[in-house]
């Protein structure tokens, strides 16, 4: 009996000891950021700019300036943008200030930040953690990646350590330092939520998505890993309120440093160019192309005199691999092409007519901008076909307006039916049906009559100057 009591007491003591030790062990496993902040926080800077702007100060009807402290920076900002209240008149030119963050990347005084922080600035002022204020030179900017390279002249500058964003893993701990709402050297932490994110207006940056709290003023600040290395530049947030909602995006440092190297060398950034307009492959399109699942980038247009055109890439090809890297989504392709230097050769694997082939392409240099002309015309109407379409030929003037060199049938009306369900709209120009060119309206009607009943077929249309593939399910007869 005494042995049993002794055994029970020993077991109870061990249980209590383990219970006390377990929370301590778990606590020790949590990341420690204090040393990182102490070591590399001084290399993070506050950036303000001065620029002249002419502002139309009119709040939308029914809205008023929020109740902000008089004379504060945000009160001044609202009144500069919106005047004194509802229906304000145009404000005179004034000196605007923007706030952002940045970080010093070397002892020569080079600083990285976002392009949108310094865009249009007449003067850029950098404030260090030791309260020094320095006027910075804008070495170069790259709006496509939203990166700006600055330089200051000063001694004893603290610098960050640069890491490799390609080594990041989802769920890895990361830390941001910046000046949200002007509060210098604010620290926020979180994890990597996703990698290689594509945003609607940013085709050449595979963003790092995190849940680190980012707000206005954090732009341009560094994103650190647990080794104290900068792995990204905090750039954007997704928000319906203007404030942080759990989704923030950072430019990978690998992308940024490639931009830095080019800005230092030439003052501008050159990117690779393939010369195709692409779209995602949907489930319906995958079925129409005979693919087992949606994947790759569907070529909707090959631009004239482009590297893709010269190499033999065709409309309707599905690009599934570029230089050995798999293209899962159409958004994967632009960053892969963009980081290839102009004049280099690349291998592009495409799916064509159910078979794969590899095409060698000499990559060109991305043009500054591509403009599309939007136009519409009133065609002569004819009867609807089995798809519910009313189509006609195109006049010479319509071809000029719509940039259709030859072929095509103009959609005059879409009635309920297969075409409407596929998303075809009035004003579209149908240029391919089931992978066959459409010569004119009569040819289109002949092809429609020959379509296999009950199957999905791809149709290529030109809409407002841009090409678009749609999957059309032919009605059963």
The distance from CA 264 to its chain's CA centroid, rounded to whole angstroms, is: 24
Alpha helices in 42-118 (DSSP H): 73-82, 115-118
Mark whether 361 and 429 lie in a shared domain. no
Q: Which of 213, 241, 266 lies at the terminal end of a domain, its last residue?
A: 266
Q: Closest Cα to residue 374, out of 397, 400, 402?
A: 402
**Residue 454 forms part of a structural domain:** yes
**Could you tell me the CATH number of the domain that includes residue 312?**
2.30.42.10
Q: Closest Cα to residue 475, out of 420, 409, 414?
A: 420
Distance between CA 459 and CA 385 in Å, rounded? 15
**Residue 11 forms part of a structural domain:** no
- Taking residue 421's Cβ as centre, other Cβ atoms within 10 Å add up to 16
Q: Tokens for 456, please give them.
A: 């999905």
User: Taken in order 274, 279, 280, 282, is the CA torsion positive or negative?
Assistant: negative
Angstrom CA distances, 372 to 162, 365, 411, 412, 463, stand at: 40, 19, 20, 21, 10
Question: How many domains would you assign to the chain?
Answer: 4
**Residue 433 forms part of a structural domain:** yes
Q: Tokens for 78, please give them.
A: 């609202």
The distance from CA 476 to its chain's CA centroid, rounded to whole angstroms, is: 41
Name the β-bridge partners of 142.
147
**Residue 370 forms part of a structural domain:** no
Report the number of secondary-structure helices (H) and strands (E) in the chain.
11, 27
Residue 146 a catalytic site member: yes
* Residue in the block written with tokens 């100057």: 465
Q: Name the burial class of residue 401, with classes exposed (0-12), middle (13-18) and buried (19+) by CB atoms within 10 angstroms of its CB.
A: middle
Q: Which residues constitute the domain of residue 396?
A: 389-473
- Whether the model clears a pTM of 0.85, i.e. scores above it, the answer is no
Mark whether 241 and 175 lie in a shared domain. yes
**Residue 463 forms part of a structural domain:** yes
Angstrom CA distances, 230 to 43, 132, 143, stand at: 11, 23, 21
CB half-sphere exposure, 446, CA atoms < 13 A? 8
Mark whether 71 and 127 lie in a shared domain. yes
Mark whether 396 and 355 lie in a shared domain. no
Mark whether 45 and 147 lie in a shared domain. yes
Q: Residue 298: helix, strand or coil by DSSP?
A: strand
**Residue 22 forms part of a structural domain:** no
Q: Which of 106, 124, 151 lies at the terminal end of a domain, its last residue?
A: 151
Q: Which of 365, 397, 431 lies at the terminal end of a domain, its last residue?
A: 365
pLDDT at 95: 64
Q: Closest Cα to residue 112, out of 271, 270, 258, 272?
A: 258
Residues in the chain: 477
Which one from 116, 330, 385, 456 is the annotated catalytic residue? 116
Dump strand ranges (E) for 122-185: 123-127, 133-142, 147-151, 161-162, 173-178
pLDDT at 79: 52
Which one from 142, 146, 317, 332 is the annotated catalytic residue? 146
Distance between CA 156 and CA 251 in Å, rounded? 28
Nearest-5° Cα angle at 49, 48 to 51 = 155
Which backbone phi and psi does 64 adopt, to 5 degrees?
-130, 160
* Residue in the block written with tokens 């690009």: 319
**Residue 216 forms part of a structural domain:** yes
pLDDT at 115: 93
pLDDT at 131: 92
Q: Residue 241: helix, strand or coil by DSSP?
A: coil
How is residue 242 annotated by DSSP? Answer: S
Q: Closest Cα to residue 215, out of 197, 238, 233?
A: 238
Angstrom CA distances, 204 to 272, 318, 387, stand at: 10, 20, 38
Mark whether 355 and 430 lie in a shared domain. no
**Residue 2 forms part of a structural domain:** no
pLDDT at 379: 35
pLDDT at 6: 53
Mark whether 127 and 204 lie in a shared domain. no
- Taking residue 152's Cβ as centre, other Cβ atoms within 10 Å add up to 21
Residue by residue, pLDDT tens for the chain (477 residues) are 455 455 455 554 555 555 555 455 454 577 889 999 999 999 999 999 987 654 444 444 444 444 444 555 445 544 544 454 444 444 445 565 768 999 999 999 999 999 999 988 899 999 999 999 999 999 999 998 999 999 999 999 999 999 999 999 999 999 999 999 889 999 999 999 999 998 876 778 999 999 999 998 999 999 999 999 999 999 998 877 777 888 999 999 999 999 999 999 888 888 999 999 899 998 989 998 889 999 999 998 888 889 999 999 999 999 999 999 999 998 899 999 998 988 899 999 999 988 999 999 999 988 865 332 222 233 333 457 888 888 888 877 677 777 787 888 888 888 888 888 888 988 889 999 998 999 888 888 889 888 888 888 999 998 877 889 999 888 876
**Could you tell me the CATH number of the domain that includes residue 72?**
2.40.10.10
Mark whether 144 and 177 lie in a shared domain. no
Distance between CA 55 and CA 240 in Å, rounded? 24
Which one from 101, 145, 179, 219 is the annotated catalytic residue? 219
Residue 80 a catalytic site member: no
Mark whether 356 and 421 lie in a shared domain. no
String of DSSP letters for 51-63: EEE--B--BPTT-
Mark whether 177 and 239 lie in a shared domain. yes
Distance between CA 358 and CA 321 in Å, rounded? 9
Residue 94 a catalytic site member: no
């Amino acid at each position: 009996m005494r042995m049993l009591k002794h055994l029970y007491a020993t077991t109870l003591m061990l249980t209590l000891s383990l219970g006390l030790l377990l929370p301590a062990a778990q606590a020790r496993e949590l990341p420690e950021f204090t040393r990182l902040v102490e070591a590399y926080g001084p290399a993070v800077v506050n950036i303000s700019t001065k620029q002249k702007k002419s502002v139309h100060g009119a709040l939308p009807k029914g809205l008023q300036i929020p109740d902000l402290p008089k004379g504060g920076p945000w009160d001044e900002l609202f009144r500069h943008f919106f005047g004194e209240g509802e229906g304000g008149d145009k404000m005179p030119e004034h000196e605007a200030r923007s706030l952002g963050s940045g970080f010093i990347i070397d002892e020569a005084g080079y600083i990285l930040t976002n392009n949108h922080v310094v865009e249009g600035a007449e003067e850029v002022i950098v404030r260090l953690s030791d309260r020094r204020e320095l006027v910075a030179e804008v070495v170069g900017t790259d709006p496509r990646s939203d990166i700006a390279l600055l330089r200051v002249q000063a001694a004893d500058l603290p610098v960050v350590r640069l890491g490799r964003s390609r080594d990041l893993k989802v769920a890895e701990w990361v830390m941001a330092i910046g000046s949200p709402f002007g509060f210098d050297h604010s620290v926020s932490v979180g994890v990597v939520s996703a990698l290689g994110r594509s945003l609607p207006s940013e085709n050449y940056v595979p963003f790092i998505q995190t849940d680190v709290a980012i707000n206005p003023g954090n732009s341009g600040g560094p994103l650190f890993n647990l080794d104290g290395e900068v792995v990204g530049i905090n750039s954007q947030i997704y928000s319906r309120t203007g404030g942080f909602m759990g989704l923030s995006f950072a430019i990978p440092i690998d992308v940024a440093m490639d931009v830095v190297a080019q800005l230092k060398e030439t003052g501008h950034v050159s990117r690779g160019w393939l010369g195709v307009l692409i779209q995602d492959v949907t489930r319906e399109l995958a079925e129409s192309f005979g693919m087992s699942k949606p994947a790759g980038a569907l070529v909707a247009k090959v631009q004239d005199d482009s590297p893709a055109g010269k190499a033999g890439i065709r409309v309707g090809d599905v690009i599934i691999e570029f230089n050995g890297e798999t293209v899962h989504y159409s958004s994967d392709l632009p960053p892969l092409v963009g980081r290839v230097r102009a004049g280099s050769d690349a291998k592009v694997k495409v799916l064509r007519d159910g078979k794969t082939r590899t095409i060698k392409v000499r990559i060109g240099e991305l043009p500054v901008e591509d403009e599309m002309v939007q136009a519409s015309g009133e065609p002569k109407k004819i009867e609807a076909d089995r798809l519910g379409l009313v189509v006609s030929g195109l006049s010479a003037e319509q071809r000029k307006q719509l940039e259709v060199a030859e072929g095509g049938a103009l959609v005059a009306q879409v009635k309920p039916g297969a075409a409407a369900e596929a998303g075809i709209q009035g004003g579209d120009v149908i240029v391919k049906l089931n992978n066959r060119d459409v010569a004119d309206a009569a040819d289109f009607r002949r092809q429609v009559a020959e379509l296999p009943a009950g199957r999905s077929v791809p149709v290529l249309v030109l809409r407002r100057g841009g090409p678009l593939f749609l999957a059309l399910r032919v009605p059963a007869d």
